[in-house]
Amino acid sequence: MGSIPHWRTRRHAFGALAAAGVVLAATACSTPEAGGGDGGEGASDGPFTIGVSNGFIGSEWREQMLSVLEDAFAEYQDEGVVDELVVESADVDVNGQIQQIRNLIRSDVDAIIVNPNSPTALDEVFAEAADQGIQIVAIDQAVESEHVTNVVIDQSEWASISAEWLAEEVGEGGEIIAVNGIDGHPANEDRWSGAQQVFEEAGVEVVANDFAEWDQSQGQTVTRDLLSSNPGVDGIFVQDGMALGAMQALQAEGLEDEVAITGEARVGYMKEWDRLRQDNEDFSSIGVPNPPSVSVSALHVVVRMLQGQEFRSDALDGNTLYLPMPETVTDDTFDERFAEVQDEPDAYALDHSITPEEADSYFE
């Protein structure tokens, strides 16, 4: 993709917000002035109205995603670049998300940031939005529509990092169980595809796989049931949002020092990781951040699109702008990374976004 901006860790305060449960204080955006693009096709002086379609509200990660976006939006608003953030956020199926996007079209937004429930089922409504001159950016998971620019990390690569660690822990011939997210959800499918490829190449057998909907409580229940029906496994592959629950199920069986488990870069899990490290110096885990502030990165990008800036020829892979993969939390880096966030609430996910200046580097 050419010269890719480096990834910067950004520390946020984590407080209470009645609607979302959590809020993060944004760092200064150092925003461009309204109409500060290169005058390309579709350029506008603004201020711009931005819509958000979020079709799943069942996780703290989504709450953090919206909170950081609201804070970053306020910075742009202070600069006069944007005027209103219209948020459609509810637990809906594909048809419900189609209605969300149509609501945003009727609200006369200039751009839509969407966390999609399907890679293809929203294509028709994306075309409707594009026909109205609306810029569309998908986050968290990629979609196929030619009318959408994906601003995402590579979810397959994300899962592969944890899977490679687990494969090394259990060795060739090892048997593992897997606790995945939502069956059929695009991010889940991409993640599991990447993890499966690693396990197949490493000669690791997945003896059972179930879904816990990125929920810690369900993660604990599903892990307990899988352990009961598959005694003697060597490891557990579990996605973020469920790793602490899975660990609690493992501890209930007294297996935390015998069964390897992938972790998560969230404060609750990291607190338990820290405790287990102190009890057993050989305890090992891993946490690959999945940054909620992908929403902030997308905001930086879509503002520049609205201002008429053109992507560099090497910035996109098809219709996708792949963000740099965040730094993995390992046993070697744990102390430093945990010290940065240990005072945050348990639900806090280690978070990063590209800066406005780094967003500029994707454009001509």
pLDDT tens column, 72-104: 999 999 999 999 999 999 999 999 999 999 999
**pLDDT-derived band of residue 43, with 50, 70 and 90 as boundaries?**
low
Are 126 and 58 in a shared domain? Answer: yes
Give me the amino acid identity at 99. Answer: Q
pLDDT at 31: 37
Segment 167-177, tens digit of pLDDT: 999 999 999 99
User: Of 14, 54, 72, 20, whose CA–CA distance to 348 is shortest?
Assistant: 14
Give the pLDDT band (50/70/90) at residue 58. Answer: confident
221 shares a domain with 241: yes
Q: Tokens 């629950």 — which residue?
A: 245
20 C-beta neighbours (distance < 10 Å), count: 19
Q: Is the pLDDT of residue 11 over 80?
A: no
How many structural domains is the chain composed of? 2
Residue 42 pLDDT grade (very low, low, confident, very high; cuts 50, 70, 90): low
Last residue of a domain, one of 272, 288, 304: 288
Which two tokens mark 215? 């929920």
Q: Are residues 83 and 172 in the same domain?
A: no
CB 126 within 8 A of CB 90: no
pLDDT exceeds 50 at position 178: yes
Look at residue 18 and tell me if it is in a domain: no
What letter does residue 325 receive in the DSSP assignment?
P
Residue showing tokens 């990834």: 7
Q: What's the domain range around 244?
A: 155-288
Whether 263 and 297 map to the same domain: the answer is no
- Asked if residue 341 belongs to a domain, the reply is no
% of the chain surpassing 70 pLDDT = 88
Say whether both 238 and 130 belong to one domain: no
Note whether residue 41 is domain-resident: no
